[in-house]
Amino acid sequence: MRYGFTTGSCAAAAAKAAAYMLLSGAEKQEITIETPKGINYHARLTDIQREELWVKCGVIKDGGDDPDITTGAHIFAKVAYGKKGETGIEIDGGIGVGRVTKPGLDQPVGNAAINHVPREMIHREVGEVCRFFDYTGQLKIEISVPEGERLAEQTFNPRLGITGGISILGTSGIVEPMSSRALIDTIKVELNQRRAEGQDSVIISPGNYGMDFMKKAYHYDLDQSVKCSNFIGDTIDMATDMGFKRLLLAGHIGKLVKVAGGIMNTHSREADCRMELLAAFSFRAGVEPHDIHKLFECVTTEEAVRLLKKSGKLDIVMKSIVERICYYMEKRSKGKLHVDCIIYTNELGELAKSEGAEKWFIL
């Protein structure tokens, strides 16, 4: 699969090109930068605007084969001369680049959401141009993304308190197709932000499955939880390292039954033993052999749950599964987290919960 380049790489390339055109007086159609990964990025420039005191140009984001919502976005950099007598490179965000409003993120409150690695890239690339032309004055750089505010609605930015646009991101400068690292980094940002706000308890969930049930049963909006996707083990590790004391995992039986088998990455390509685990817990609960045999023929866990309900053993099976989920979560945290769990289906609602789960929702 083809890799792409981050918004940070695009911003650095556009800034370098604009600085070159401003200091040289010559127009440039393409530019090359080196990403932190050590891979060169050869960027074509678009929408070049040149004035005496500033130059602005853009790079079209290419995320490669990764399903990146910013692919096709225009990442612009405007480079202008600063005040006479001033030195250095100043970086800020313009239209479509988010602004940080909550603590705990990569940038302090009030700053443009241009993370530190892209800032370092811009400083390095523009600094190289300044040295080439022996320019020692000040340059002011503004990064903008015309589509940024619209695109941000499809990202975690509104949840994180980043308003007005997307973030300029990237640690390697490269977008790896279906990058699990990017997802884990997003989870880490959310956890870190909550710790920065003084929270020592966190609710995590693989997604928004069961949102209506959680609102009805516990008056809790599942969208407020930290979305751990399939990375339950990694999320527990990060929460433990950050000093959280309590963690509640809430989710659909189809994902969480895997955790009852000690599986901490629940993606189907990593492990798909849902029916085997349900069969094992059912056998332990005394479910009749012919019903256990039928479990292996079930395509979905919803179907399996209906079968167990008919057998009269659903409650005892689900209670046993929750206990085992909590056991493996506590084991993963090395006993440093007090853990709770709620499992449910869309059809039947709550299947089981740990003893202390309900206390999370009592004010």
Residue holding tokens 């100043």? Answer: 90
Taking only Cα atoms into account, the Rg of the chain, rounded to an integer number of angstroms, comes to: 25
Q: How far apart are CA 42 and CA 176, in angstroms?
A: 17
pTM metric for this prediction: 0.71
pLDDT value, residue 299: 76
Identify the three-state secondary structure at position 26: coil
Q: How far apart are CA 182 and CA 187, in angstroms?
A: 9
Low-confidence ranges of the chain (pLDDT < 70): 1, 177-179, 363
pLDDT value, residue 95: 98
**Structural domains of the chain, ranges and CATH numbers in brackets:** 4-175 (3.30.2110.10), 197-361 (no CATH)
pLDDT value, residue 177: 67
pLDDT value, residue 38: 93
C-alpha of 140 from chain center: 30
pLDDT value, residue 131: 97
Q: How far apart are CA 277 and CA 264, in angstroms?
A: 14
Contacts for 157-162: CB closer than 8 Å, 24+ residues apart: 157/98, 157/113, 159/190, 159/223, 160/102, 160/105, 160/189, 160/190, 160/193, 161/100, 161/101, 161/102, 161/105, 161/193, 162/98, 162/99, 162/100, 162/101, 162/105, 162/113
- Taking only the tens place, the pLDDT of each residue in 258-314 is 999 999 999 877 888 999 999 999 999 999 999 999 999 887 898 899 999 999 999
pLDDT value, residue 122: 98
- Taking only the tens place, the pLDDT of each residue in 139-170 is 999 999 999 999 999 887 887 889 999 999 98
pLDDT value, residue 208: 78
Q: Which two tokens stand for residue 190?
A: 């959310």
C-alpha of 95 from chain center: 23
